């Protein structure tokens, strides 16, 4: 596929008719395998590609990438077909949503524990159909007038409640840390040390926390030292540059050094894009591949 074809199709209806037909042939001989040989398993967004979910997976594989993530994929109607295509092409699947919210209910309130358990149970069933092993949970909004200690205790107990079924499913549930300075004012779980504390309170290997590089740069900085410090408690990564939440190279984070630190810390699981790209998809994929060259 040449650059002119990509830029032409990226702007309009020709996307599906051109790339979709290529996907249906499952050949993609003209596509540059940009991601081949990367050490970091970067999950790209399927929304960057046209066609059906299965066709999107074919295109991700054609470009040499090995994973995708869409937090809402648990609700896709074609989960089984996506799982089969991923198994065929060696594509891994990142996290799906498993309960809690950013600005509302969450397991930091014991009154919501039953609701949370039900949500995780449904997410496990969806994850089995889709083929992912990672469940992303949100702790809820900070409860005014309730101490951090009490809320951490509530989230830790919620983790204990769901840990047996998460473990039985061979999955990992991760508590997501978010920044409150720019994007999510009022959210409860902010700092890496608190995410680490939650995993220790649950004391089950299937309960960890999600280190979102974008959010943690805003909340606390000191990225590489914190990744090294908490790597045993980290079960998943998200990333985007700061400021703007766009692709690497648009902000202040040196992603070559960050990805190198993640790799050298021994992490071999998925690192997922969670960003709004400002460039065409082919250029975006090249930027990601370049971050893995150190």
Catalytic (active-site) positions: 176, 274
H-run or E-run covering 208: strand 207-212
Radius of gyration of the chain (CA): 19
Task: Please calculate the CA angle 238-242-244 and round it to the nearest 5 degrees.
Answer: 100
Q: Say how many CA atoms lie within 13 Å of 100 toward its Cβ.
A: 30
Q: How far apart are CA 109 and CA 82, in angstroms?
A: 35
Q: Residue 218 CA to chain centroid, in angstroms?
A: 18
Q: What token pair was written down for 17?
A: 């008719």
Q: How far apart are CA 68 and CA 8, in angstroms?
A: 24
94: left (phi over 0), alpha (psi -120 to 50) or beta: beta
Q: How far apart are CA 214 and CA 178, in angstroms?
A: 9
Query: Which residue is associated with the tokens 């989960």?
Result: 79
Q: What b/e readout covers 213-225, taking b as 16+ CB neighbours within 10 angstroms?
A: bbbbbbbeeebee
Other C-beta atoms closer than 10 Å to the C-beta of 183 total: 13
DSSP 221-289: --HHHHHHHHTTTEEEEEE--TTTS-STTSSS--HHHHHHHHHHTT--SEEEE-S---S-HHHHHHHHH
Distances (CA, A) of 133 to 94, 130, 218, 266: 8, 9, 28, 19
């Amino acid at each position: 596929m040449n650059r002119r074809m990509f830029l032409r199709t990226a702007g309009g209806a020709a996307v599906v008719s051109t790339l979709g037909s290529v996907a249906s042939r499952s050949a993609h001989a003209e596509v540059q395998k940009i991601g081949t040989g990367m050490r970091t398993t970067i999950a790209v967004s399927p929304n960057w590609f046209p066609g059906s979910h299965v066709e999107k997976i074919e295109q991700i594989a054609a470009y040499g990438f090995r994973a995708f993530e869409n937090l809402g994929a648990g609700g896709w109607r074609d989960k089984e077909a996506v799982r089969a295509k991923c198994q065929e092409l060696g594509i891994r699947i990142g996290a799906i949503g498993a309960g809690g919210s950013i600005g509302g209910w969450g397991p930091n309130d014991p009154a919501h524990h039953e609701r949370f358990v039900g949500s995780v149970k449904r997410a496990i069933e969806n994850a089995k159909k889709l083929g992912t092993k990672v469940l992303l949970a949100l702790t809820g909004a900070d409860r005014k007038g309730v101490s951090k200690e009490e809320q951490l205790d509530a989230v830790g107990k919620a983790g204990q409640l769901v840990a047996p079924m998460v473990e039985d499913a061979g999955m990992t549930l991760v508590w997501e840390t978010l920044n409150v300075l720019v994007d999510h004012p009022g959210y409860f779980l902010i700092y890496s040390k608190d995410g680490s504390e939650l995993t220790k309170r649950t004391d089950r290997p299937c309960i960890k926390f999600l280190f979102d590089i974008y959010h943690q740069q805003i909340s606390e900085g000191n990225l590489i030292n914190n990744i090294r410090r908490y790597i045993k408690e980290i079960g998943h990564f998200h990333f985007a540059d700061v400021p703007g939440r766009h692709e690497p190279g648009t902000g202040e984070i040196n992603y070559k050094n960050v990805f190198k630190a993640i790799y050298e810390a021994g992490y071999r699981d998925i690192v997922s894009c969670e960003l709004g790209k400002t460039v065409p998809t082919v250029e975006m994929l090249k930027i990601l591949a370049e971050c893995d060259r150190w």
